[in-house]
Amino acid sequence: MEPQFKNDVEAIEAFVQKYAELKSEIGKVIVGQDEVIKNILMAMFSRSHALLIGVPGLAKTLMITTIAKSINLTYNRIQFTPDLMPSDIMGTEILDENRKFKFVKGPIFANIVLADEINRTPPKTQSALLEAMQERSVSMNGVTYDLPNPFFVLATQNPIEQEGTYPLPEAQQDRFMFNIYLDYPTFNEEVNIVKSTIHGDMLEPKQVLSVEEIIFYQKLLQKIPIAENIYQFAVKLAASTRPGTASAHPWATDYLSWGAGPRASQFLIIGARTHAVLNGKLSPDIEDVKAVAHNILRHRIIKNYKAEAEGITIENIIDKLMNSL
């Protein structure tokens, strides 16, 4: 049932409390990785998708199953392989006992879809998934089937092994709101992980949110007011990454071969709005835009050979651009 509140301020307070409960439940199963969990939840509440970059064995799958259980959402994991076809994800039509074609839904028909190692499958299958993410529906023989609401895709990539992979083109990476980098746990976190997992008695998270509440809070976030200077800052930041344009920062012209498009400006505002509300604010400020900028711009700008030669990272460039505005 959709929650009832007297006003939006009361609803935001309830949302912040629910978010804290959700993080606490996830924390019972997942040790550490607070920033990663926060970013995944932000993308989900923003009605967007996330790309997770990390080596195997960092509990990506466990993280997503735990989130799904905490919110009572349906969940599917798709392991991407070189022989995976679009119909293996979307579904296919079969002939039933009455000799009529019947559509059998594929694993994409779930609230949360983990697209594991998306760069291991050919572009044809990648495109089918990314189109479904954008349209939130699947078309088969002229009939459109809506995907469940809410719908969230978390795709993972392994940054180490590049042989036999099909890297996602920049235009397709652009559809993901966040590019989240998953690092190794700290020494103490790893000790706690080993202690809590070797006995086989994993804690089960309690359900904190319902599907109706998620949809309600997603709509609530869309109503948050945004000041004109925040729009201007987000667009200036995105425009400063575009080499060779009037708005480009000197570092963009020197060190970048490609800059972020208008979708980056949109996501900077959407991300800042969600970040502000999760921190108890009623409207985002410039600090909220800066807080989400790395995850949003990281996969949208491409550095050139000069940056590689001088050892300048994408993170250095984003910091320089933010501090210059």
SS3 166: coil
**298: buried, middle or exposed (CB in 10 Å: 19+, 13-18, 0-12)?**
buried
Beta bridge mates, 181: 53
DSSP-based helix, strand, coil % in the chain, nearest 5: 50, 15, 35
Q: Is the Cα dihedral 186, 191, 197, 201 positive or negative?
A: negative
Q: What is the spatial distance between Cα 25 and Cα 35, in angstroms, rounded to a whole number?
A: 15
- Which pTM does this prediction carry? 0.91
Q: If residue 161 lies in a helix (H) or strand (E), which one and from where to where?
A: none
Cis, peptide link before residue 150, omega less than 30° from 0: yes
> What CATH number is given for 8-213 in this structure?
3.40.50.300
The confidence score (pLDDT) of residue 217 equals: 92
What are the helix and strand counts (H, E) for the chain?
14, 11
CB 67 within 8 A of CB 154: no
Q: What is the spatial distance between Cα 237 and Cα 320, in angstroms, rounded to a whole number?
A: 11
Nearest to 293 by CA among 182, 178, 181: 178
Per CATH, the architecture of 224-324 is what? Answer: Orthogonal Bundle (1.10)
* Domain assignments of the chain as residue spans, ordered by start: 8-213, 224-324
Per-residue pLDDT of the chain (325 residues; tens, 9 = 90+): 667 777 888 889 999 999 999 998 888 888 888 899 999 999 999 999 999 988 777 888 888 888 888 888 889 999 999 999 999 999 988 888 888 888 889 999 999 999 988 888 888 898 888 888 888 998 888 888 999 989 999 988 887 766 667 888 777 788 899 999 888 888 998 898 888 778 766 778 888 888 889 999 999 999 999 999 999 999 999 999 999 899 999 999 999 998 999 999 999 999 999 999 999 899 999 999 999 999 999 999 999 999 999 999 999 999 999 998 8
Q: What is the spatial distance between Cα 259 and Cα 303, in angstroms, rounded to a whole number?
A: 9
Q: Which residues contact 21 (CB under 8 A, 6 or more apart)?
A: 208
The confidence score (pLDDT) of residue 2 equals: 67
The confidence score (pLDDT) of residue 163 equals: 66
The confidence score (pLDDT) of residue 103 equals: 87
Q: How far apart are the first and last CA of the chain?
A: 45
What 3 state SS string does 243-306 have? CCCCCCCHHHHHHEEECCCHHHHHHHHHHHHHHHHHCCCCCCCHHHHHHHHHHHHCCCCEECHH
Residue 283, both tokens: 């409207």
Q: What is the spatial distance between Cα 220 and Cα 283, in angstroms, rounded to a whole number?
A: 12
